[in-house]
Amino acid sequence: MAIDYEKIRNWPFEPVEQTYTHKDAILYALGLGFGADPLDEGELHFVFEEEGFSAVPTMAAVLGTPGFWVRDPESGVDWRQVLHGEQSIELHRPLPPEATVVAENEVTEVIDKGEGRGALIYTTRRISDKATGELLATNVSTTFARADGGFGGPPVEQPKPHPLPDRDPDSSLDLATLPQAALIYRLSGDPNPLHASPSVAKAAGFDAPILHGLCTLGVAGRAVLDTYCDHDAARFKSLKLRFSAPAFPGETIRTEMWKDGGVVSFRARVVERDVVVLNNGRVEIG
């Protein structure tokens, strides 16, 4: 079954209402490795509700998600071959420590890269505070459907990535991930079995379950928070990046950063394999 452009473009998402508490926010932070050093008081307020608790800004990426919707046979997508290609998060205000949010999801574009080259599915998610109606965050996500090119979609040019500065990084930070990081992180809302089942991972061409792209994103966001925001969530305004290769749970993520005014450019690589897993990253800070 091939992708039907009109069907995907007009996928009937229902509004998603989600209530999260400080326990959910702490679980998300623990999935990224926050609190690994019990003496690091800078990270404590992300994992301990009695210390001026804050939600990690990148948690916006997992709020109000429509679930693994491309697994629906009606989508025509070979879900076993999909990867997360790109992600952006714009924070309109800091996430509340606890809230009920309402998210509106929509497919905004589908790009046919051609037979054997896959397809790109762009979705936008707008997250609002149910109590106040205020818009909290806007996410744009790109799904790379590796096996679904050549369906005959209209020709659309893919947006260009953020260019990294042509100089050595201004700073870098190594953060280790836990061997069970993917099993913890999936509890924050991404049930794709690619991140938990060895048999599904093998069918997709991987030797073991891979780390969620959004988990790797969160680790890089953590590095920027630590290095340039003094762990102040309110200073973290937006993030966007491309996923360039998968990481595996237990590997060390080195985030290399360049600061130019209020913009931090970055990429992240796995130290053990010297493979860039996140590229063309851009964070706006205040």
Using CA atoms, how far apart are residues 32 and 185, in angstroms rounded to an integer? 7
Burial zone of 246 (CB within 10 Å; 0-12 exposed, 13-18 middle, 19+ buried): buried
Question: Is 245 in a helix, a strand, or coil?
Answer: coil
Q: Which of 111, 184, 210, 253 is catalytic?
A: 210
Rounded to 5°, the CA angle 260-266-270 comes to 155
Do residues 175 and 253 touch, judged by C-beta distance below 8 A? Answer: yes
Amino acid at 80: R
Q: Which of 24, 112, 190, 226 is catalytic?
A: 190
Do residues 177 and 250 touch, judged by C-beta distance below 8 A? Answer: yes
Residue in 68, 11, 10, 58 with CA at minimum distance from that of residue 33: 58
**Known catalytic residue at 213:** yes
Using CA atoms, how far apart are residues 145 and 2, in angstroms rounded to an integer? 11
Q: Which of 33, 85, 149, 213 is catalytic?
A: 213
Measured in degrees and rounded to the nearest 5, phi and psi for residue 49 equal -70, -10
Using CA atoms, how far apart are residues 99 and 93, in angstroms rounded to an integer? 13
**Known catalytic residue at 190:** yes
Do residues 29 and 51 touch, judged by C-beta distance below 8 A? Answer: no
**Known catalytic residue at 168:** no
Residue in 89, 97, 92 with CA at minimum distance from that of residue 24: 97
Q: Which of 33, 64, 153, 195 is catalytic?
A: 195
**Known catalytic residue at 92:** no
| Residues recognised as catalytic | 190, 195, 210, 213
